[in-house]
A and B are shown apart, each in its own frame.
Chain A
Amino acid sequence: EPEVTQTPSHQVTQMGQEVILRCVPISNHLYFYWYRQILGQKVEFLVSFYNNEISEKSEIFDDQFSVERPDGSNFTLKIRSTKLEDSAMYFCASIIDRAKTQYFGPGTRLLVL
């Protein structure tokens, strides 16, 4: 069964450094999402991406964040200058149609020191 994959599974970085989190959505899916979950808190929407552009973003998704689909398979989330409060699990999700069910990747645990 196809699944969403994410790399790396864990990332430790110093405050102020740039990180890129990678996702490979399910191959025939058209809508892509990033969510984050700070430890002990709820899953929060960051951004949705369709047709090679951002379709919606939350207030969390400020100028420090960007997303890209550099080729036909990868979907990346870049944080330009990490802050301590960016420490969280980051989940990628994809769907074939926005009325359908979202499938989540296993997540990347980001720790900013």
Chain B
Amino acid sequence: QKEVEQNSGPLSVPEGAIASLNCTYSDRGSQSFFWYRQYSGKSPELIMFIYSNGDKEDGRFTAQLNKASQYVSLLIRDSQPSDSATYLCAVSTSYGKLTFGQGTILTVHP
């Protein structure tokens, strides 16, 4: 069973702080890695994708990938209350199928 594991949280950070979200995956053949944000009752919304080892930055978000350790992370700088949501880590395998983690609930308090 190919798994994606996330700490379900909740992770609580003060406004303006850095939120760090982590994810591990079991399938070494995984090629693409995604972070989605999901608000309650809504569909997943793409935040970042990363294909290569290292860091990728987009605005306040930085995705980090370490294929040797099978580890993906997402850093959110200057966290805002509007960032409060569930963050889903997803890994792409054959035919583009996404395997999702359970999600980490993030709460940013003023």
Contact = CB atoms under 8 A, between A and B. Distances in A.
Tell me, yes or no, whether A binds B.
Answer: yes
Interface of A: 31, 33, 35, 41-45, 48, 50, 55-56, 89, 91, 93, 95, 98-107, 109
A48 B97 CA distance: 7
Contact of A104 (B44, B92, B94, B99): B44
A104 B43 contact: yes
Contacts of B41: 89, 109
Contact of B42 (A48, A50, A95, A106): A106
Contacts of B71: none
Contacts of A89: 41, 43
Nearest to B6: A42
15 contacts: A43-B90, A45-B98, A45-B99, A95-B96, A98-B96, A99-B92, A99-B96, A101-B34, A101-B46, A102-B34, A102-B96, A103-B46, A104-B44, A107-B42, A107-B43
Given A99-B32, A101-B34, A101-B49, A43 B95 contact: no
Interface stretch (B16-24, B52-60, B100-108): B100-108
A91 B96 contact: no
Range of interface residues on chain B?
Answer: 20 to 34
Contacts of A44: 100
A104 B94 CA distance: 18
B98 A56 contact: no
Given A48-B97, A99-B92, A102-B98, 19 more contacts: A33-B98, A35-B98, A42-B101, A43-B88, A43-B90, A43-B100, A45-B98, A48-B95, A55-B95, A56-B94, A56-B97, A89-B41, A98-B92, A99-B96, A102-B34, A102-B96, A103-B46, A104-B36, A106-B43
Contacts of B36: 104
B89 to A, nearest CB: 10
Given A31-B95, A48-B95, A56-B97, A42 B46 contact: no
